[in-house]
């Protein structure tokens, strides 16, 4: 195939815009930087995935985080939920006027229809949705969709252009395939808790749901790759994501250290296992992160702190030597840093060109000026909760707007009438 063929094919075939989709035509408006409104009062889809329709039967976090990212990039996401109760995440706090803020943050900008996939009439509606969809996302235990008649083999035979993405605890193969899992389970089993915390401390969970979020990110990469593959070949594929696999993939040099030494690494607190100085240091009023990731940066650090002699000190002349004398170097650094404030040392290190930063709590992080400058805190105006703030989209793509507002998460079954009308029922 000539090198120029693939992009041309992708330009034509990637979009799955359907006659009934309100996303068609939004790409051109997005290029002009506007935020058009669809006929239903929601913001029209303007990202690079405008025209792509995702049917989302996943719940809680791993699958919904994948579909959130796709919605942020312009896809239309139709969330299929269990009647009466809906997604489990609707019942997770905190709550604002009875609506879950947790659910709001992960499902904003999506649509909702409640379907019982064991009921004949609801199955017919679901199948009509799949007829017009580009992607279906699920995060059930393997075998669940097959029992409903909607496993990969059955769907691929009936909807040959439908991409099937599954995010489960252990993937769709292997001896643990059918085991149930949550984020906490795979954090423990995947080794990441064993290198988190301080030496001698009990097992420590990472402070956010890295098992779910990591799986959602990898699922998104898989779906986008599958969309591109379909654009080139016309062939839809199955994306099989195991949360346990994703935890292993995130181990990076912790796994490499085990493979090379045969010894399982343990927790080191804030310290990097092989780069020095690269950790948190105490100052006169708190802590500061210093990340001198190479010898050149260490020399800048030495000059900035008024210690030029460190550059020729045989203990500190190279990173391997500094790693051998990490405790001595830390003591010398903290003897200096404790004489003044974190704010003072931030200015000193910024002026010296040394990567450094304060250790912010969540409030400080979301209110940090850089977050506002990058539109990373956006507003959701929900008629039930009133205005709420959520985290924005970190993926900034030229030619597409990054609006300061988002549509709210749907109420359960909110979009039934509109969706049924679109599919002619």
Residues serving a catalytic function are: 272
Contact by Cβ (8 Å): 280, 288: yes
Token pair in block for residue 118: 């064991």
Phi/psi of residue 14, each to 5°? -65, -40
Q: Which residue has the tokens 């051998």?
A: 324
What is the Cα–Cα distance from 168 to 140, expressed in whole angstroms? Answer: 6
Token pair in block for residue 174: 């292997």
Beta strands in 19-90 (DSSP E): 53-56, 76-81
Token pair in block for residue 371: 């977050």
Token pair in block for residue 207: 């402070």
For the chain, the farthest-separated pair of C-alpha atoms sits apart, in whole angstroms, at: 79
* Helices marked H in 172-291: 183-189, 210-233, 243-249, 253-261
What is the Cα–Cα distance from 345 to 53, expressed in whole angstroms? Answer: 50
Q: Characterize the bridge pairing of strands 76-81 and 111-114.
A: parallel
Token pair in block for residue 357: 């930063």
Contact by Cβ (8 Å): 89, 103: yes
What is the Cα–Cα distance from 267 to 106, expressed in whole angstroms? Answer: 31
Beta strands in 115-237 (DSSP E): 135-138, 163-168
Measured at the alpha carbon of residue 226, what is the angle toward residues 224 and 229, in degrees to the nearest 5? 115
Contact by Cβ (8 Å): 281, 213: no
Mark 4-36 as b/e (b = at least 16 C-beta within 10 Å).
Answer: eeeeebbeebbbbbbeebbbeebbebbeeeeee
What is the Cα–Cα distance from 20 to 40, expressed in whole angstroms? Answer: 13
Measured at the alpha carbon of residue 297, what is the angle toward residues 295 and 298, in degrees to the nearest 5? 65
């Amino acid at each position: 195939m000539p090198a120029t063929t693939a992009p041309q094919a992708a330009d034509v075939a990637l979009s799955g815009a359907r006659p009934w989709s309100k996303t068609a035509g939004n790409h051109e408006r997005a290029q002009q930087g506007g935020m058009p409104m669809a006929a239903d009062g929601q913001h029209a889809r303007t990202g690079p995935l405008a025209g792509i329709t995702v049917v989302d039967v996943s719940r809680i976090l791993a699958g919904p985080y994948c579909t959130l990212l796709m919605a942020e990039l312009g896809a239309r996401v139709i969330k299929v939920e269990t009647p009466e109760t809906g997604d489990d995440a609707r019942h997770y706090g905190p709550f604002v006027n009875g609506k879950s803020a947790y659910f709001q943050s992960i499902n904003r900008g999506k649509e909702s229809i409640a379907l019982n996939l064991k009921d004949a009439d609801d199955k017919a509606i679901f199948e009509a949705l799949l007829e017009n969809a580009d992607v279906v996302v699920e995060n059930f235990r393997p075998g669940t969709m097959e029992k409903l008649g909607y496993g990969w083999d059955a769907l691929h035979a009936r909807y040959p252009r439908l991409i099937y993405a599954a995010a489960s605890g252990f993937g769709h193969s292997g001896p643990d395939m059918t085991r149930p899992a949550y984020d906490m389970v795979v954090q423990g089993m995947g080794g990441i808790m064993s290198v988190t915390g301080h030496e001698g401390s009990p097992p420590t969970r990472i402070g956010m749901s890295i098992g779910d979020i990591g799986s959602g990110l990898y699922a998104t990469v898989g779906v986008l790759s599958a969309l591109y593959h379909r654009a080139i070949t016309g062939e839809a594929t199955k994306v099989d994501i195991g949360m346990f696999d994703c935890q292993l993939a995130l181990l990076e040099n912790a796994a490499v250290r085990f493979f090379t030494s045969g010894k399982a690494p343990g927790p080191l607190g804030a310290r990097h296992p092989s780069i020095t100085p690269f950790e948190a240091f105490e100052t006169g009023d708190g802590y500061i992160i210093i990340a001198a990731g190479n010898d050149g940066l260490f020399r800048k650090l030495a000059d900035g702190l008024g210690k030029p002699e460190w550059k020729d000190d045989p203990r500190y002349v190279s990173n391997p030597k500094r790693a051998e004398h990490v405790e001595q170097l830390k003591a010398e650094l903290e003897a200096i840093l404790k004489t003044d404030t974190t704010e003072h040392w931030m200015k000193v290190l910024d002026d010296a060109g040394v990567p450094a930063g304060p250790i912010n709590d969540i409030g400080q992080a979301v209110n940090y000026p850089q977050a506002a400058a990058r539109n990373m805190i956006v507003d959701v105006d929900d008629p039930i909760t009133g205005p709420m703030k959520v985290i924005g989209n970190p993926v900034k793509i030229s030619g597409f707007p990054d609006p300061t507002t988002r549509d709210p998460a749907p109420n359960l079954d909110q979009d039934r009438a509109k969706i049924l009308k679109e599919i002619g029922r």
